[in-house]
């Protein structure tokens, strides 16, 4: 697929009027061809108006028709697997096998949502039939189901150039719900974005859907993103990225004349608590597992375990020593962008000034310390008292670091947990006796995170029906939703009730004969 560097405005391509930018190789720092063009505000306006127009038709097509579109996109991703993975590897330096796997995950996400909308039960149809003889007044016939919100603005993330980007879970779930999508592509992987955008755009034509069902805008700055969130035609926002950028979008969405739902997934320290039983099983293996988890993807996972609570004991000391050794012996990591690398250094220096110890490998002779995208692993150590006095120590740093918080004994974990802000995950390592003895810890952590994990590292995120990739602020803008898994579709739908409508005027989901055979509630009970 030849890269043109131009945005997708419905079925057309953008102009060369906007400012130009390029991707950079994280391994060499050199620019990569071709040159990309930022969308103009006129192009954005056209894409948004096309989306509003497309919504009228796209929101009316059947779940089966939407599923066909999603399955065609999935097939498109798979048929461009190598091209996508190779370009993403150039632009992100993430390992090729990981990227090849990410193409599969991306395709599977579209298929998951295809099965959800084919099945159709996700609309949560509820029927309270008329009670004409009720006293003192008859009850009317009431039938409710979920309907799509309208055009959704999706922001591609830097760290998953496929699964959380142009064709990521946000796009898949919004399209599944019946919402047209306008993606603001992440400028760190514009070539990967263009290939993905073309796959999704070609599927629009192939399925004869309205042109405005999908658009994708390039921009190296923030102008297009801000204008997108504040455009009157946009009805919801989905974003994965930094706390600073996410909060700016939240503020823009909530200060519109008409505020709109805005789901931002932003920042998580993913606290991990080590209970005594876990260390009895072998401190070295646990340290190796943790090292693998916090350096996975060069530490650029939303679910990286960034705060480790460890009660003092001889085995805890062994665990720390093993972790120190792993960090000291580690090779340099390559980060996604120069900006991320600079921020990793800045945040690390700021944290180092506050903690009791910092471990890091010495720069090797062959290492070019001026290479802007490179970073060394870091292990910070502090005490619980320091963390409670300086809760900002637990703030996420994006990169291959973690912070061990030394606690006096496991019962200190409760105070530690209570001091936490919101996170995507919270993890407990231990045995079943530990769990039984720490029910209150679990209850507190449940208030702090969207996913609680026992004896596994949080960096694995399954895309299933029960996954929750969400949590209280600052993990996300709204803890009532998730951005991963089939529940993610509920971000983009709203209930609509039809009162006293004749059967023929109802959508099939609500007709008395239930022609789609979906699960429904009648007077609150399954039919």
Tell which positions 436-475 bind its own copies, by CB under 8 A: 436, 439, 442-444, 446-447, 449-456, 460, 462, 464-468, 470, 472-474
Q: Does residue 147 touch its own copies according to CB under 8 A?
A: yes
Does the protein bind its own copies through residue 150 (CB under 8 A)? yes
76: left (phi over 0), alpha (psi -120 to 50) or beta: alpha
Smallest distance from the beta carbon of 234 to its own copies, in angstroms?
A: 13
Q: Are 235 and 152 in contact (CB under 8 A)?
A: yes
The owner of tokens 């099945």 is 119
Three-state DSSP class for residue 151? coil
| Closer by beta carbon to its own copies, 318 or else 390 | 390
Integer Cα distance of 191 and 208 in angstroms: 26
234-273 positions binding its own copies, by CB under 8 A: 235, 250-251, 254-255, 258-261
Cβ(184)–Cβ(153) below 8 Å:
yes
Looking at 80-88, 220-228, 267-275, 486-494, which segment touches its own copies (CB under 8 A)? 486-494
Among 51, 116, 174, 394, binds its own copies (CB under 8 A): 116
- Residue 65, Cβ neighbours under 10 Å: how many? 15
201 burial type by CB count under 10 A (0-12 exposed, 13-18 middle, 19+ buried): buried
Contact 355, 347 (CB under 8 A): no
- Residue number with CB closer to its own copies (39 or 449): 449
- Pairing type for strands 423-429 and 271-274 reads parallel
Confirm or reject binding of residue 296 to its own copies (CB under 8 A): no
Q: Is 59 in the site for its own copies (CB under 8 A)?
A: yes
Does the protein bind its own copies through residue 353 (CB under 8 A)?
no
The window from 178-186, 277-285, 320-328, 495-503 that contacts its own copies (CB under 8 A) reads 495-503
Nearest distance in Å: CB 165, its own copies? 22
For position 149 contacting its own copies by CB under 8 A, the verdict is yes
Please tell me whether residue 137 binds its own copies under the rule CB under 8 A: yes
| 140 sits near its own copies (criterion: CB under 8 A) | yes
The verdict on whether 265 is a catalytic residue reads yes
* Separate counts of helices (H) and strands (E) for the chain: 16, 23
Determine the Cα angle at 469 with ends 404 and 240, to 5°.
90
Residues 265, 322, 396, 509: which is the catalytic one?
265
Residue 76 binds its own copies (CB under 8 A): no
Question: What is the closest distance, in whole angstroms, from the C-beta atom of residue 381 to its own copies in the complex?
Answer: 27
Q: Is 105 in the site for its own copies (CB under 8 A)?
A: no
79 makes contact with its own copies (CB under 8 A): no
CB 167 within 8 A of CB 182: no
- Spot the catalytic one: 91, 102, 179, 302: 302
Question: Residue 479: exposed, middle, or buried by beta-carbon count in 10 A (0-12, 13-18, 19+)?
Answer: middle
Q: Cβ 519 to its own copies, closest distance in Å?
A: 7
CB 492 within 8 Å of CB 174: yes
525, β-bridge pairs: 522
Considering CB under 8 A, how many residues would be counted as binding its own copies? 84
Judged by CB, which is closer to its own copies: 264, or 295?
A: 264
Q: Return the C-alpha torsion angle 495, 499, 505, 507, nearest 10.
A: 20
Q: Does 127 bind its own copies (CB under 8 A)?
A: yes
Residue 225 vs 450, nearer CB to its own copies: 450
Residue 126 in the binding site for its own copies (CB under 8 A): yes
Q: Which is nearer to its own copies, 353 or 436 (CB)?
A: 436
Q: Is 213 in the site for its own copies (CB under 8 A)?
A: no
Instruction: Please select the residue that binds its own copies; options are 4, 19, 115, 313, rule is CB under 8 A.
Output: 115
- Smallest CA-to-CA distance from 69 within 177, 157, 156 is with 177
- Among 146, 182, 169, residue whose Cα is nearest residue 63: 146
Q: For residues 153 and 260, which CB has a smaller minimum distance to its own copies in the complex?
A: 260
Tell the smallest beta-carbon distance from residue 493 to its own copies (Å). Answer: 7
Taking residue 147's Cβ as centre, other Cβ atoms within 10 Å add up to 17
- Which residue from 16, 139, 280, 281 is in contact with its own copies, where contact means CB under 8 A? 139
Structural contact between residues 23 and 188, judged by C-beta atoms closer than 8 angstroms:
yes
- Please check whether residue 322 is in contact with residue 292, taking contact to mean a CB–CB distance below 8 angstroms: no
Local structure of 377: helix, strand or coil = coil
Nearer to its own copies, 195 or 236 (CB): 236
| Separation of alpha carbons 499 and 501, rounded Å | 6
C-beta of 353 vs 504, nearer to its own copies = 504
Q: Name the residues annotated as catalytic.
A: 265, 302
């Amino acid at each position: 697929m030849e890269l043109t560097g131009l945005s997708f405005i419905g079925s057309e391509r953008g102009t060369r009027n906007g400012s130009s930018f390029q991707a950079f190789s994280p391994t060499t720092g050199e620019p990569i061809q071709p040159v990309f063009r930022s969308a103009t505000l006129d192009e954005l306006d056209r894409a948004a108006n096309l989306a509003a127009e497309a919504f009228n038709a796209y929101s009316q097509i059947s779940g089966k028709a939407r599923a066909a579109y999603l399955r065609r996109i999935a097939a498109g991703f798979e048929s461009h697997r190598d091209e996508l993975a190779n370009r993403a590897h150039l632009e992100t330096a993430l390992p090729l096998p990981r990227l090849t796997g990410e193409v599969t995950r991306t395709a599977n996400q579209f298929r998951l949502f295809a099965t959800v909308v084919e099945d159709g039960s996700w609309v949560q149809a509820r029927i309270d039939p008329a009670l004409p003889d009720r006293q003192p007044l008859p009850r009317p016939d009431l039938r409710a189901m979920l309907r799509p919100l309208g055009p959704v603005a999706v922001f591609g993330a830097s760290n998953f150039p496929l699964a959380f980007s142009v064709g990521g879970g946000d796009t898949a779930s919004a399209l599944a719900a019946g919402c047209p999508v306008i993606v603001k592509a992440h400028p760190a992987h514009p070539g990967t974005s263009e290939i993905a955008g073309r796959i999704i755009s070609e599927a629009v034509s192939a399925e004869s859907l309205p042109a405005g069902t999908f658009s994708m805008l390039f921009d190296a700055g923030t102008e297009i993103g801000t204008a997108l969130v504040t455009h009157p035609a946009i009805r919801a926002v989905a974003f994965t990225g930094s706390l600073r950028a996410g909060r700016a979008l939240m503020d823009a969405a909530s200060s519109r004349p008409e505020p709109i739902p805005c789901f931002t997934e932003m920042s998580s320290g993913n606290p991990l608590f080590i209970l005594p039983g876990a260390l009895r099983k072998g401190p070295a293996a646990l340290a190796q597992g943790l090292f693998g988890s916090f350096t996975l993807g060069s530490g650029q996972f939303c679910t990286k375990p960034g705060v480790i609570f460890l009660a003092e004991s001889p085995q805890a000391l062994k665990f720390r020593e093993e972790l120190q050794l792993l960090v000291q012996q580690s090779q340099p990591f390559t980060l996604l962008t120069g900006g991320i690398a600079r921020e990793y250094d800045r945040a690390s220096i700021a944290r180092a000034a506050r903690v009791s110890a910092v471990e890091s490998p010495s720069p090797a002779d062959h290492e070019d310390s001026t290479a802007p995208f490179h970073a060394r692993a870091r292990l910070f150590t502090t005490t619980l008292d320091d963390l409670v006095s300086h809760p900002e120590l637990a703030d996420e740093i994006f990169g291959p670091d973690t912070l061990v918080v030394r606690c006096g004994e496991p019962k200190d974990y409760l105070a530690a947990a209570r001091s936490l802000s919101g996170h995507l995950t919270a993890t407990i390592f231990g045995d079943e006796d530990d769990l039984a003895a720490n029910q209150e810890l679990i209850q507190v952590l449940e208030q702090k995170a969207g996913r609680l994990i026992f004896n596994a590292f949080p960096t694995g995120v399954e895309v299933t029906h029960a996954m929750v990739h969400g949590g209280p602020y600052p993990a996300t803008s709204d803890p009532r939703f998730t951005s991963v898994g089939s529940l993610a579709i509920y971000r983009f739908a709203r209930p609509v009730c039809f009162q006293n409508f004749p059967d023929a005027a109802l959508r099939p989901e609500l007709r008395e004969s239930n022609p789609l055979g979906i699960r429904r509630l009648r007077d609150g009970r399954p039919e």
